């Protein structure tokens, strides 16, 4: 049977809402972008991520994980895109990793991307080596992996790491739960149900009581998800 993690399940709009990434950015990263330069010449920016279903423009859970890692790498840690592309190419050719952004544990010093080899952190080109104290680990803690390193669950950010670098994992995306739609972490409660009931006029307090969850957690996910929608 096909791995549910690699089945088409999300539109670009879904990915944009769930991961709080602009829709135009999702489309560019997954499908490329045509544009004209300052002299009016046609240019094309190739995609960084390969969608599981290009024809129907659908993404998989693994694609969501790739977008999550790419978004944090670019938007939170400001790693240059040429470095990201070089990393993907190197890991694909040299290590045979099909989807490096999802399947390979990456680290960053906010300038470059690294993989751990025999206890050392090496850049994708193999030209630099850093000590562990210089490496940022934060975003890796938001991906739960199986024994082979493949992603099982994703805990998207609800705020910028700049505002809250140690934020709790309150939203969970698991392709085996709720058809891969976001749920309240460790509960299986669909975020969409909470949002719909709140938008219909129910109070945060009543929702928290119904689901036996902390009111501050319910309020955070409801308001965050409502803004994204």
In a domain, 30, yes or no: yes
Q: Is 75 within a domain? A: yes
Sign of CA dihedral 204, 11, 60, 44: negative
Q: What is the pTM of this model?
A: 0.86
pLDDT on residue 168: 80
For residue 229, is it within any domain?
Answer: no
Q: 149 lies in a domain? A: yes
Please count the structural domains in the chain.
1
pLDDT, residue 119, reads 65
pLDDT at residue 92, rounded to an integer: 86
| Residue 201 within any structural domain of the chain | no
Domain assignment of residue 226, yes or no: no
Q: Is 57 inside any structural domain?
A: yes
Q: Taking the chain (229 residues) in consecutive chunks of 10 residues, what is each chunk's mean pLDDT?
A: 87 95 96 90 93 96 95 86 89 85 82 73 62 52 85 86 72 95 93 94 95 92 80
Domain that holds residue 154: 4-36+43-188
Domain membership flag for residue 227: no
């Amino acid at each position: 049977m096909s791995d549910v993690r690699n089945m088409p399940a999300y539109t670009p709009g879904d990915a944009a809402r769930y991961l709080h990434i602009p829709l135009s950015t999702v489309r560019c990263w997954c499908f490329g972008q045509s544009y004209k330069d300052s002299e009016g010449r046609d240019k094309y920016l190739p995609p960084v991520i390969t969608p599981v279903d290009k024809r129907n423009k659908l993404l998989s859970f693994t694609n969501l994980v790739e977008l999550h890692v790419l978004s944090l790498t670019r938007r939170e840690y400001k790693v240059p895109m040429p470095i990201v592309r070089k990393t993907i190419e190197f890991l694909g050719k040299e290590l045979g990793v099909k989807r490096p952004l999802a399947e390979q544990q990456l680290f960053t010093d906010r300038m470059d991307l690294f993989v751990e080899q025999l206890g050392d952190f090496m850049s994708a080109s193999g030209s630099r080596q850093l000590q562990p104290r210089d490496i940022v680990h934060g975003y890796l803690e938001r991906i739960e992996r199986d024994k082979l390193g493949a992603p099982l669950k994703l805990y998207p950010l609800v705020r910028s790491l700049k505002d809250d670098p140690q934020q709790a994992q309150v939203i969970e995306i698991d392709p085996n739960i709720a058809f891969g739609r976001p749920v309240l972490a460790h509960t299986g409660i669909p975020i969409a149900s909470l949002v719909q009931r709140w938008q219909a006029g129910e109070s945060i307090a009543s929702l928290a009581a119904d689901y036996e969850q902390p009111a501050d957690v319910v309020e955070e996910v409801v308001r965050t998800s409502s803004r994204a929608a």
